Structure 1
Amino acid sequence: MFEYMTFLNPAVLIGLLAAAIPVIIHLLNLRKLKKIEFSTLAFLKELQKNKIRKIKIKQWLLLVLRVLIVLLIVFAFARPALRGLSIAGTTSAAKTTAVLIIDDSFSMSVLSQRGSYFNQAKDFAKQIIEQLKEGDEAALIFMSDENQQPKLTNNFNSLIEELNQKEISFTKPDLNKVITLAAQLVNRSNNFNREIYLFTDFQKNIFPSEEIKSDLSELLNENIKLYSFSLSDKTVFNLGVDELKVNNQIFEKDKPITFLVSVSNYSQQNVQNGVLSLFLNGKRAAQKSFDADAGKSVVVDVDALSDATGFIDVAAEIETDDIEQDNRRFNSVFIPDKIPTLIISDESASSRFLKLALQTVGNDKIKFDEKNSNQLAALQLKNYDVIFLCSDNVFQNIEKLNQFVKDGGSLVVIPSVNADLNKLNSNLQKLNLPLASGYAGKMNDKSLSVQFDKIEFNHPIFLNLFRKDDKKNIESPLINYFIKYSTQGKGSSIITLTEGSSFLSEYKLGKGKIFFFNTAFDAGWSNFALKTIFAPLVVKMVFYLSQKENLQNNLIAGETISIDLNKINSAQIKVVRPDSSADFINIDLVNQKFVEYTNTDLAGFYKIFSGNELIDNIAVNNEKSESNPVYADEKDFEKYLEQLNFKGNLIVVDKNKNPLETINQARFGSELWRAFLLIAIILAVIEMTIARNVKKDLEGINN
């Protein structure tokens, strides 16, 4: 059955007026037969009447045939087409616009008896492209490609080549976005057949999580056909590494690093004695077994040592299953080699114990420079990770220190031996820190002193400094002169004195940190610098403060990497992608502080180079919702289309049958012009035969 006939070239229908020509000619050529009287053959009169009657019937038949021939020729040129009916040999002529949506998310990598879902999608798409004809046009849209700008083309070889080269993406698919994009494309076409093809496993995560507010009824109107191919056909066994966290906040060479790895069992069967491997810079550094019940997650803690410094690639990996892409997860840590440190001091008494403490680990771990406050203006602070400020005379350059911290540097503020409270408070105010309320005690007078009261032993600077049993037995220094100081809710107090003041406090400013001591590192103030805890604590503090908080290590494929240009000295940076390909970006160091990099469709490590120097290492991971093999059914998809106010025709294609037959049966535009022309030719032959016969009959009567 078909709904109706339409014409692809309706302007030609004006030619139907030509059907009147045979009628006019017939009327003009009507002739009366001569009467011939036979004197002796009266019976021939009846015979003559019979012949004339037959001739008139044939003449009317000729008139009908000639009118039909004209009508059929005009109809043929008007290109009649049937909607909703496929007739063999007639479908190829109607011009088609086909937009093919391919789900390239990594859940499509599941292997079935026909191959991976993704390869099946590409094969079906190739079949459809290969049967397109001259005058047709097509476009490819990939569901996970955030930056695509597809265009309709009649270069079908280029589309097939694009399909051949396309690989699985780690970016989260967006069904709503690609359906809208496809609808916009087909509506730009003037072709009769406007078709959208959707190849996907219909994993539920492709549907929008929020209520759809789009009304696509104008784009997805009655002239659109949407063919859906559901490619999932098996129960999937899959475990995924959902998270890889670093439990440490201080990283040192040859010191243990603890990683917390979350593994989820998305299958319907329990897993026992699964194996998790941890790799550092591509080498297996640890291995641990785990059990995971069906539908549950488990956290596996793994310790590993790194024998290298700098940026370390960290990867957690489990054994193979139906979906390979989520069996690895990535992170990156930075283990400093030589930590560049700056001491700003105007008098040796304010910094001598500090320098002695830093020298205990040798110049191979902490490399420090000492400058006075007058030299601060000329210094490139971005060349340092940690700055110790042991001077009050920095008011003119305090904004420079403030920006250093905001950009990710760390600052330790220590009162000078002869601290000026007014200058100190002025500096604290510029750094957005609480102000000191005054002095307590007397310098060089130990008759009245205070000690440590509360210590936050869970803070990273105390990690591995003491045996667990000894933590509560630290010998407190005697502090006889100090600044009355409180965090006032702006920061956290790491060490508190019995008097109530904060001895050591920590603050966050921008991307960096600030530590504040309320006591100078001088024997006239306290004996803190003479205690065994002093040097290890200062060194640990430097390692802690040198660590950069890298929020970008939780990036998901497709998200933007923000590249900080603070430590860039060249006019171009290079981004090496996980597949070893490279992108080069020209930058303007005068006007730019950040560069946004968006080509992050792969999971793995994105290494940022300035010249030959590696300045950052960003770990990008897959969207974990792709790991859960829960699939939508036909009703779910129909409900989604209802929300879009879809007005077109949905055709569900069974991949186990011949898809092209299904498409041809449903396709618009079975053109009938060949049939009309063939019938016209047949009628013309009949007309000529009858016309000759009539001519002979007329000659016989006239004779």
Structure 2
Amino acid sequence: MTFVHPAVLIGLILGAIPIIVYYLMRFRSLRVPWGADYILERALARWRKKLYWDQIILLALRALVVMALVLAFARPQSRAARSTGTDGAVLRVLLVDGSYSMLAGRSPPTLFDASLEIMRELVSSWERGEMWSLYALDSRPRWVVDRAAVVDADHSRAILDTLKVEETAVSLAAGLKAVLAHGAGQRREIYIVADDQASNWADVDQAIADADEQTRVFWIHPPLADRRNLAVTRLEAGHERVLRGFSFPVYADVRNFSAEAVRDAELSVLVNGAKTGAKRVSLQPGQSVRLALNLRLDTAGPHLITARLSDDVLPFDNALSAGVEVAPAVSLLVLRDAGRTGKFESSAGFLGLAARMLAGGSTKEAEGPLRITDYSDATCALSTLQKHDAVVLDGGRTLTPDLAETLRQYVEQGGGLILAADASADLAAWRGLLGPANLLPAVPARLRNEALAGPVFRQLSRTGFDLPALRDFENDADGDLSQVRFFSWVECDTPAPGAETLARFDDGSTYAWRRRLERGSVLMLAAGLNSHNNNLLVRETVYPFLLHLFAEAASAGQYTRRVARNEPVRYLATGDPPPTGAVFGLDNAEPALASLTPQAQGMFVEYAPGSSRSGPASLLVLRENSSERIWIGVQGERTDSSLTAMAPAYREQLAETLAWTEAGSARELMDALEADGSGAERYGWVLLAVLLFAMGELLMGLRFV
């Protein structure tokens, strides 16, 4: 005998109430001695003996009425139809879907919570000694319980409570294949605990070919009324190192995973948890869209950017985060020849003018976002380069093997190198020295020098920006670059492996290449930065364009603040005193120690395992008397966000093959088990016992009237 609600059995102690009431309320006589005591005592003794047993029976009937009512509420079941011996025993197998689509639900409980409650009631109905197995289908499919005997209901429920939903998609085909091979040839009951998601049920019809007649299948799936689900699939900032006080774009990709159109959903952008902007979006079924929002941060240091959708049926995939570093300025070192002293003979002249204009005048140049250092010495030490965020190699700078080697070391240690190929560039020297040093994103082949104001020139394309931060120029949000004309430029032949195109000319040829190394990068421009031959007009529309290019080059030495799941998290801590420890943390997860490795540039901090799930994360770097928190955004692929149900015809095919019984609640499952002969309710018999005990109590009570 088992009970559907065993916790109610604690109410059996209420059966003591009639006895307690009896002893509290019974009549206590006052004894007064008198002469006929002896005769009266003998008569009363015979009467008390008969009355004593009547009272015992009455109290027992009253206690049984209360206890029978408690048993009725506990809903007893007979398990006589089940064999509990080893010969012919039934093996019960639970297959549990642990993908994050099980977290769907407009309000608690989620599908997983509802399924867990059904499983808890199911295992509570099993008797001690019965055999069961539990297969968890998540990122590490495994047998949690493998042919173990039931100890008691509490132990079985405790095992179920260890199951967690993970950020993964699963294959029920693979899970069913493992489960069907488990205990083949014996009597089995298989309980599939999963939603009706089409993607998870793919190819199940192939996996169930080996199902046998001794296997009884139950499919537990609580109903899901709403399937409209939007998800943020990607979030990136225009640069991971941005300038304080200057706007930069943030791009969020949003997809409608449902089969219905969604209108006016709100996407909010938060900085360090505070809402700073929002956009409305309407999407057709299956449609994806990229939304752009411009942000401006006025505080230097690490920041966390989060894009979050308004709540829908699956909140798990509604947000993604990314980290950015806000710098007060970009420091550029311009390498030029000492003889190039004309106003626009080198990049230093034009960039110095741009720095003054951006700062609001020459007196405020040191406070501006662009800080230029003009360097014309014949030799250049690595330590000189490392004082700056990026280095501009002027097109007319004389290249030597020593300088090429110094530049190589600078880039390998995280520096950003900008190659500005103007009309005086020695392309042969570039190919001969920068090429072997792995510093050429593309091979410069020919120099084009056309007449100033002539009919032959190049213009920047307004639709060819592959660098996300430059895409605002496509709609003139950051300025109209179509006025910039280039009358001298370099044509390149073969791009190096891994080279990226950031911007193009209007004829489709490349204007800006970038090649990333493990740390550091090389940015190569097909035209110079000296404004000679009208290469770049000194106009306010050009300055944002330059700042974006320089910010991208300056971020070369910064480890990414946007990582994938299970990707190592890295950070280079500089400055004194050096870090003494570091801790990696993720929302609602236990913090973990990160490793520290001293390097020439600073302390290398790494958490190699990374995070197994998406969310805002951080590295807390501890120093002797201070600490700093570096924000990291962990982003995973949205592989389990579609809640589209499997096709009705496919579902009918599986139902026919497996002959399963569906249950959306514990009541439905217990009714199905009872109808299947797996158990019989004794609820009616207990109520009949309550009635009989109550009638007996009434009849016994009449004897005292």
For this structure pair, what is the TM-score category when the shorter chain's length is used for normalisation?
Answer: 0.5 to 0.7
- 1:561 corresponds to 2:574: no
571, 587, 597: which one pairs with 2:609? 597
Q: TM-score, normalised by structure 1?
A: 0.61
Q: Is the 8 A contact 2:443 2:494 kept in 1?
A: no
Q: For residues 63-82 of structure 1, what are the alpha-carbon distances to aligned partners after superposition, in whole Å with 9 as ceiling and x for unaligned? A: xxxxxxxxxxxxxxxxxxxx
Percent of matched pairs sharing the same residue: 11
144, 147, 150: which one pairs with 1:150? 144
- Cross-structure match for 1:121: 115
386, 390, 394: which one pairs with 2:390? 386
Change in CA separation of 1:531 and 1:159 when aligned onto 2, cut-off 3 Å:
same
Alpha-carbon RMSD across the aligned residues, in angstroms, is 5.5
Amino acid at match of 2:123: I
Find the structure with the greater CA-based Rg.
Answer: 1
- Cross-structure match for 1:3: none
Pairing of 1:364-513 with structure 2 (within 5 A): 365-366=369-370, 376=381, 386-390=390-394, 391-393=397-399, 395=401, 398=404, 401=407, 410-414=416-420, 422-430=428-436, 431-436=439-444, 452-458=457-463, 459=465, 471-474=481-484, 485-488=490-493, 490=495, 505-510=512-517
1:175 CA drift (Å): 1.5
1:640 CA drift (Å): 9.9
1:542 CA drift (Å): 0.6
Pairing of 1:199-598 with structure 2 (within 5 A): 199-208=193-202, 217=210, 225=215, 227-243=217-233, 248=238, 252=243, 253-255=245-247, 257=249, 259=251, 262=254, 264=256, 266=258, 273-291=264-282, 295=285, 297=287, 299=289, 301=291, 303-307=293-297, 308=299, 312-326=303-317, 328-332=318-322, 334=324, 336-338=326-328, 341=331, 343=333, 345=335, 347=337, 349=340, 352-353=348-349, 356=352, 359-360=355-356, 361=359, 362=366, 365-366=369-370, 376=381, 386-390=390-394, 391-393=397-399, 395=401, 398=404, 401=407, 410-414=416-420, 422-430=428-436, 431-436=439-444, 452-458=457-463, 459=465, 471-474=481-484, 485-488=490-493, 490=495, 505-510=512-517, 514-517=522-525, 531-532=538-539, 538-546=546-554, 555=564, 559-563=565-569, 574-586=583-595, 597=609
SS at match of 1:145: coil
1:424 CA drift (Å): 2.5
Amino acid at match of 2:549: M
SS at match of 2:491: coil
1:192 CA drift (Å): 6.4
* C-alpha distance in 2 between matches for 1:461 and 1:90: 71
Pairing of 1:87-236 with structure 2 (within 5 A): 88=80, 91-94=83-86, 97-110=91-104, 115-136=109-130, 138-146=132-140, 150-152=144-146, 157=154, 159-164=156-161, 166-182=163-179, 186=183, 195-208=189-202, 217=210, 225=215, 227-236=217-226
If asked which structure has higher relative contact order (CA below 8 Å, sep 6+), I would say 1
* C-alpha distance in 2 between matches for 1:88 and 1:462: 73
Change in CA separation of 1:258 and 1:594 when aligned onto 2, cut-off 3 Å:
closer
Q: For residues 263-322 of structure 1, what are the alpha-carbon distances to aligned partners after superposition, in whole Å with 9 as ceiling and x for unaligned? A: 537365x665544433333222223445556x4647484634343555544444444444
* C-alpha distance in 2 between matches for 1:469 and 1:434: 28
What number of residue pairs does the alignment pair up? 552
617, 628, 636: which one pairs with 1:606? 617
Q: Is the 8 A contact 2:490 2:527 kept in 1?
A: no
659, 666, 669: which one pairs with 1:659? 669
1:122 CA drift (Å): 1.0
- Cross-structure match for 2:638: 623
SS at match of 2:270: strand
Amino acid at match of 2:612: T
* C-alpha distance in 2 between matches for 1:447 and 1:306: 39
Change in CA separation of 1:185 and 1:356 when aligned onto 2, cut-off 3 Å:
farther
Amino acid at match of 2:392: F
1:203 CA drift (Å): 1.6
Change in CA separation of 1:543 and 1:650 when aligned onto 2, cut-off 3 Å:
same
Amino acid at match of 2:277: A
Q: Is the 8 A contact 1:413 1:515 kept in 2?
A: yes
Q: For residues 327-352 of structure 1, what are the alpha-carbon distances to aligned partners after superposition, in whole Å with 9 as ceiling and x for unaligned? A: x2324252531456463637555664
* C-alpha distance in 1 between matches for 2:555 and 2:249: 14
Q: For residues 509-550 of structure 1, what are the alpha-carbon distances to aligned partners after superposition, in whole Å with 9 as ceiling and x for unaligned? A: 557753335676669x76868945676654342124345799
Gaps of 5+ in 1: 1-85, 643-648, 670-703
Amino acid at match of 1:597: P
Amino acid at match of 2:278: Q
Amino acid at match of 2:459: K
* C-alpha distance in 2 between matches for 1:503 and 1:622: 31
Q: Is the 8 A contact 2:196 2:646 kept in 1?
A: yes
